[in-house]
Amino acid sequence: MHAYELQQFRSAELIRRAEDERLAREVARGRRAARREAAERAREAAEGARGAAGSDPHTHRHRRPRPARTT
């Protein structure tokens, strides 16, 4: 009977841990979504402030990676 109770305890603990991890992933997903929405609103506000006549800067292009330094 002792082994059965230990197994029940371990099973319940694993279920609790899984639920905690699911909750943490959900919270992180919500925070990422909120950041994306805030960035989109800021981008739209910046485009609106620049006006239709302003040129679109090429900030979306990333620099090419530099080769590693060798000494």
- Of the candidates 56, 53, 62, 30, the one whose C-alpha atom is nearest the C-alpha of residue 43 is 56
| The pLDDT of residue 41 | 93
| The pLDDT of residue 35 | 96
Q: Is the pTM of this model over 0.85?
A: no
The string of pLDDT tens digits covering residues 13-70 is: 999 999 999 999 999 999 999 999 999 999 988 887 765 555 555 566 677 888 888 8
**Amino acid at the residue 30:** G
What end-to-end distance do the CA atoms of the chain give, in Å? 67
